[in-house]
Structure 1
Amino acid sequence: MRYNIDMYIRTISRKNKDGSVVRYIQLAHNVWDPKAGYPKAKVLFNFGREEDVDREALVRLVKSITRFLGPEEALRTQAELNGSAPLTFVSSRPIGGAWVLNELWNQLGINRVLAGLLAKRKFQAPVERAIFAMVANRALNPASKLKTEDWVSHDVFIPGLPDVPVQNLYRAMDFLLEAAEELQKDIFFSVAHLFNLEVDLLYFDTTSTYFEVEEEDNPEDHKQHLRRKGNSKDHRPDLPQVVIGLAVTREGLPVRCWVWPGNTADMAVIEQVKKDLVGWQLGRVITVVDRGFASEDNLRYLQRAGGHYIAGEKMRSGKDTVAEALARPGRYKTVKDNLEVKEVIVGDGEKRVRYVLVRNPKEAEKDRLEREKILARLKEELKAIGDLKGEPHTKACCQLIAHPTYGRYLKTDKKGQPYIDMAKVKAEEKLDGKYLLRTSDDTLSPEDVALGYKQLLEVEEAFRTMKQSLELRPIYHRLSDRIHAHVLLCWLGLLLIRVAETKVEDSWRNIRQTLERMHLGEFIAPDGRVLQRTETTPQQQHIFKALGIKAPPQIIAVETKGQKRSLVTRAQKADP
């Protein structure tokens, strides 16, 4: 598509206080104003002061430019106008995704936070831009740091960064780790203020990610001590791993991340998490944790300094208080999100424990159907065992009884023969669709407790995003500091993605796909080159509007021959 709307070079003047006059050169075109009833000039690009540009060369170059180059056809063809010098298409690269991430980066104040931290040091390289480039890479096209160098130079438009040597990326990672504590705190308060976040509920959980190496790190080696074998949540106990902790708000925005050696137990990290967040002076904080963290020591620790908790309880733990809470009669109250809740108080005085029993009817039906399938398979297994003799029979019986799912329904007779215990089946039926919560805060209603814990799914979703969209794994680093820095980059990427998803009300996958269809085309002519993007589609405009972001300028750069090649232009200041 081509529009016959002429562009032109114009000069504007500004008078200084001392009486001197400064003249500026602009690229403009006329746009019809229906309200005024006549055309008005719209600035497409600011070239700067008249004395700093070659006006005649610009005039010749502009004669080769159309108003719009078109979203599809023009990026694959050459543009010619009325016999003037040809404008030749050279290449194109995506611009939409990186542009939006960069605008969110600035909107959230991350650039200002980094600038403040960097002011204390004397770096020659653009560290803030290098950090952003690595974060954008995780969100748009995850790759190693070496491949990120090539990606920045050839496959994406990063505002303010035409290229970046890989050694600068590593230096930026080192700085990121040095500033990690202050950085996470400052960014959180910047984001909390911008979004008016409620920080009375913080959700915490851990995950693990493994390395494609067989040998563990030496725990006494400070530079390499994180990669250790442990309880793998990725079902790869054969490989070294690291444990990653993540705290998020009820809105699903990540607050902070942690990295521990791969053999760290879940219950051992609560003390550090609580200590780190107390220093942020968040006020009244109720920490929400999963069943894996609900030891008595952890829960007592979470109550220090006036804190409170909501914790999941293991219903098959064998604890007397849990058994009593599950057996206590009483009516459920239906609340939103298809949940039924019932408050149960067990004990008195110091031994008093407040429980909230939650039931989800839909989950109850799913549990019932799943149990029927399990029992059907179990009957087949028992039948197969009956045909075995001797040692194979004994071995098969032991394996079946020890099975984490089948063993729940089995009992053995006097001869050691397993059979389905219907009493156990009935006991399991009573747990269908239920989970038991424990809280130390008496001011929370049972509904708030139930819905608050349900939001813990936000942490699990955040981990899925880190592992899938941001491709947390594979991690190519072996040094512990670099592993820490890599997780921090993923945390920053997760923050930008979550903000985008929350505002647009769509998945990052869909948002990214739509934005990456906006391309920046490079065109050259005998007198210079032009960087001009494709037109904004209605879907892209919807995303920009939802995020409160202006679309990129139609023309990103106009450079005359011999002018220094740079993607750091004044285009971002032009009226889009």
Structure 2
Amino acid sequence: MYIETVPNRNSPPAILLREGYREGGKVVKRTIANLSHWDPQLIEHLRILLKGGVAVESARALMSIERSLPHGHVAAVLGIARRCGLAKLLDPAPAPVRSLVLALVVARVLEPGSKLATWRNLQPESATHSLSQVLGLGAFEAERLYAALDWLGVAQPRIERSLARQHLGNGVLVLYDLTSTWVTGRHCALAHYGYSRDGKRDDPQIVFGLLCSADGCPVAVEVFAGNTADPATLAAQIDKLKERFGLSQVVWVGDRGMVPCARIEQVLRPAGMSWITALRSPQIAELIEDRGPWQPSLFDEHGLIALDSARYPGERLVVCRNPALAEERARKRAELLAATEVELAAIAQATARTRNRLHGQDKIGLRVGRVIERYRMAKHFDLEITETSFTFTRKQAQIDAEAALDGLYVLRTNVPSEQFSDAQTVLAYKSLAQVERAFRSMKTVDLHVRPIYHFNESRVRAHVFLCMLAYYVEWHLREALKPLLHDDEDLATRRDQRTNPVMPTPRSEGANAKAARHRTDDALPVHSLHTLLQDLATLTYNITSTPVNPQAKIVITTRPTPLQSKAFALLGIDPACSQ
């Protein structure tokens, strides 16, 4: 006997119990009963019985789910951490410490927070994802997590050497930039009041510099006291490259604040290093006086002019002009000048009114100072303040001189043109945006290095290094998942092939199509990395047991959706085998 479903035109199909047998050498069948009115679950039980199976009262009698944890994002981040070689870099540590350090790095990508919050999320009874189960951590004290962080701080030089061997070499580009972040409390020896790039002038700061390869992959990080100036950190990085990494010659790429003329003469040139940096505005003005003004018509289709100068013997200067940048700076200056004039005119009118006249040189000066400070336009105005009056006029000659530099920047390098062409030099300098992206990810978007709650100097350094390793994992994760992200997959190739390296590289047709449709070519939704990890987290890690042997735990992961399958295929990871 068997159960057959028979279509019934526009009505629901008929569910029939039938019997098949032979009659006169032919196979015939007959209907024994109409089961259409039965409960679907009862029909399925009968179907199992007819096939020789055993029907049970409910699915719970076979297996029960004891716990279900978000797992897909854990499998993705942990899998890429192993694929990119980070897990192997932790091998010298004892197994328990190695697992905890790996958990710290992965948890920083998944759910950045304080170490205590991370410890709670890794405890079996309060876990918010499957990371603890996958790594087999079990229950442990918070002190063990801090001990793992301390081990990571001690291992930082060795790990950075391994990363440098993998991503750097003699003659390659090295990107370097500096940023700051605030520290909670007043007891950290590194915390000092200094220039805050986050606008937190009321809080003590630390400063940290990030070394990256030419494609933006982080290699090393170093923490400095919060009152350390940018150029003062350069010598320490040169020593690190030469002594710790064994690199005798690299091309150092830094912005005009990081690599000023004094540091080139005092640090880079004596060390035998090459450099690509930019001139400051006063140096550009001196160059214009020597070589004459550069009209837009002088720039070729590449948007640049190569020249030399007696002020920089043995070096190349590449003058770049970006028309879009020139237009934007002119617009912004005009708006700031107009806004400043409106408020200064109101102050001048207040000094001339008949009632409640504003008077007193100090009072007038304070109000003028607030306006000038807000718009930072003091250099473009002549101000005359007396006890009873206030007048102002534009410094038009100075405004015109500044406008002549709009959209212009001059690169300075001692790298021979045979090694780096003028266009390649411009692209190398613009690649500093990769370091800015790393800072943005570490500080605000993904990893949240700030605020820092540690007071011990060594733990502050270890915390920043931990965030760098988390960004190292995230960088590889982004590279692998680009087809599913809003990122432009062909940006690097098209940037190298452009005739005008000064202008921004437009997005490719494929990237524009993804942005317009919010879908990939195979009709999958396009995500940011954050929302993609949220989607992957819906693939769960289920701990089950059976009544026959309740002590035996069976782990079952849910079936991936098409998007999740594509993501794991790009990563080369099987989420069911992530342990």
- Tell me how many residue pairs correspond in the alignment: 454
Verify the 8 A CA contact 2:207 2:223 in the aligned structure 1.
yes
- Corresponding residue number in structure 2 for 1:567: none
How far off is 1:464 after superposition? 0.5
CA–CA separation in structure 2 for the residues paired with 1:324 and 1:96: 62
Match of 1:110 among 73, 80, 86: 86
Aligned-residue offset at 1:366: 1.9
State the match for 2:21 in structure 1: none
Q: What SS does structure 2 have at the residue aligned with 1:387?
A: helix
Q: Are 2:133 and 1:170 equivalent residues in the alignment?
A: no
The alpha carbon displacement at 1:334 in A equals 3.1
Answer yes or no: is the 8 Å Cα contact 1:325–1:355 preserved in 2: no
Alpha-carbon distance change, 81 to 277 in structure 1, aligned in 2, over 3 angstroms? farther
Partners of 1:409 and 1:226 in 2: CA distance: 39
Aligned partners of 2:260 and 2:59: how far apart in 1? 80
- In structure 2, give the amino acid aligned to 1:434: L
TM-score, reference length from structure 2: 0.73
Alignment match, 2:298: 331
Q: Would you say the 8 A contact 2:175–2:214 is kept in 1?
A: yes
Counterpart for residue 422 of structure 1: 396
Shift of 1:99: 1.5
Secondary structure of the 1:472 match is coil
| Alignment partner, residue 484 of structure 1 | 461
1:150 is aligned to 120
Q: Does 1:525 align with 2:554?
A: no
For residues 232 and 382 of structure 2, what CA distance do their matches in structure 1 show? 35
| RMSD (Å) for aligned C-alpha atoms | 2.7
Amino acid at match of 1:332: F
Change (3 A) 1:376 1:354: same
Measure, in 1, the Cα distance between the counterparts of 2:410 and 2:85. 40
Q: Distance in 1 between matches of 2:342 and 2:466?
A: 50
Alignment match of 1:508 (pick from 497, 521, 529) = 529
Q: CA 1:303 to 1:173, structure 2 compared with 1: closer, same or farther past 3 Å?
A: same
2:187 is equivalent to residue 212 of structure 1:
no
Correspondent of 1:234 among 190, 198, 207: 198
Closer, same or farther in 2 for the Cα pair 1:371/1:387, shift >3 Å? same
Look up the match of 2:257.
Answer: 292
The question of 1:160 aligning with 2:124 is answered no
CA contact (8 A) 1:401 1:410 kept: no
Gap regions ≥5 residues in structure 2? 1-54, 352-358, 486-527
For each residue in 1:215-253, what CA deviation from the matched residue of structure 2 results, as whole angstroms up to 9, or x when unmatched?
3x4xxxxxx411111111111122111101001112111
SS for the counterpart of 2:298 is coil
Could you tell me whether the CA contact under 8 Å between 2:447 and 2:467 is conserved in 1?
A: yes
Q: CA deviation at 1:510?
A: 3.7
Q: 1:205 corresponds to which letter in structure 2?
A: D
Cα distance in 1 for partners of 2:405, 2:324 equals: 13
Q: Secondary structure of 1:370's partner?
A: helix
Partner of 1:35: none
Which of 408, 411, 421 in structure 1 is aligned with 2:379?
408
Query: CA deviation digits over 1:21-50, x for unaligned, max 9?
Result: xxxxxxxxxxxxxxxxxxxxxxxxxxxxxx
Mapping of residues 238-277 of structure 1, within 5 Å: 238-277=202-241
Task: Measure how far apart 1:177 and its partner are.
Answer: 1.0
Q: Which runs of 5+ in 1 are unaligned?
A: 1-78, 218-223, 554-570
CA distance in 1, matches of 2:216, 2:292: 31
Does the CA-based 8 Å contact 2:340-2:375 persist in structure 1? no
Which residue identity does 2:408 align to in structure 1?
K
- Conserved 8 A contact 2:284-2:410: no
Other-structure match for 1:550: 573
1:489 counterpart letter in structure 2? L
In 2, Cα distance between equivalents of 1:431 and 1:81? 83
Alignment of 1:15-414 (within 5 A): 85-115=61-91, 117-118=92-93, 123=94, 126-153=96-123, 154-158=127-131, 159-163=134-138, 164-190=140-166, 200-213=172-185, 215=186, 217=187, 224-279=188-243, 280-282=245-247, 284-300=249-265, 301-316=267-282, 320-321=286-287, 324=290, 327-328=293-294, 331-335=298-302, 340-347=303-310, 351=313, 353-389=315-351, 390-391=359-360, 392-401=363-372, 405-412=376-383
Which residue of the partner structure matches residue 506 of structure 2? none
Supply the distance in 1 between the matched residues of 2:271 and 2:452 (Cα, whole angstroms). Answer: 37
Secondary structure at 2:382 match in 1: strand
Q: Which residue of 2 aligns with 1:470?
A: 447
Aligned pair 1:541/2:565, yes or no? yes
Give, in whole Å, the separation in 1 of the partners of 2:59 and 2:375.
Answer: 79
Contact 2:99 2:137 in 1 (8 A): no
Aligned to 2:496: none
- Kindly provide the CA deviation profile for residues 430-467 of structure 1, in whole angstroms up to 9, marking residues without a partner as x: 22222222112132222112111111011111001001
| Cα distance between partner residues in 1 of 2:422 and 2:375 | 32
Instruction: Give a deviation string over 1:322-357, Cα, whole Å, max 9, x none.
Output: 75468356722334xxxx222232216x74553222
Identity of aligned residues (%): 27
Contact kept, 8 Å, 1:541 with 1:551, in 2: the verdict is no
Cα deviation for residue 144 of structure 1 reads 1.4
Aligned residue identity for 2:367: A
TM-score (norm 1): 0.73
Q: Structure 1 residues 136 and 543, CA, compared in 2 at 3 Å: closer, same or farther?
A: same
Secondary structure at 1:492 match in 2: helix
**Aligned-pair CA distance for 1:517:** 2.4
Please report how far the alpha carbon of residue 89 of structure 1 lies from its aligned counterpart in structure 2 after TM superposition.
2.6
Asked if structure 2 preserves the Cα contact closer than 8 Å seen for 1:110 and 1:187, the reply is no
Structure 2 counterpart of 1:499: 476
Q: How far apart in 1 are the matches of 2:146 and 2:455?
A: 13
Amino acid at match of 1:552: P
Amino acid at match of 1:203: L
Which has more radius of gyration?
2
Q: How far apart, CA to CA, are the structure 2 residues paired with 1:503 and 1:282?
A: 29
Kindly provide the amino acid, as one letter, of the partner of residue 267 in structure 1: P
Q: Describe the SS at the equivalent of 1:452.
A: helix
Per-residue deviation, 1:318: 7.8
Deviates more, 1:446-455 or 1:379-388: 379-388
Please state whether the residue corresponding to 1:281 is helix, strand or coil: coil
Instruction: Assess, with a 3 A threshold, how the Cα gap between structure 1 residues 303 and 84 changes in structure 2: closer, same or farther.
Output: same
Instruction: Classify 1:403/1:173 alpha carbon distance in 2 versus 1 (closer, same or farther; 3 Å).
Output: same
Aligned partner of 1:439 in structure 2 is 413
Q: Deviations over 1:262-289 (max 9, x none)?
A: 1111111100011101232346411111
Structure-1 separation of matches of 2:337 and 2:59: 81
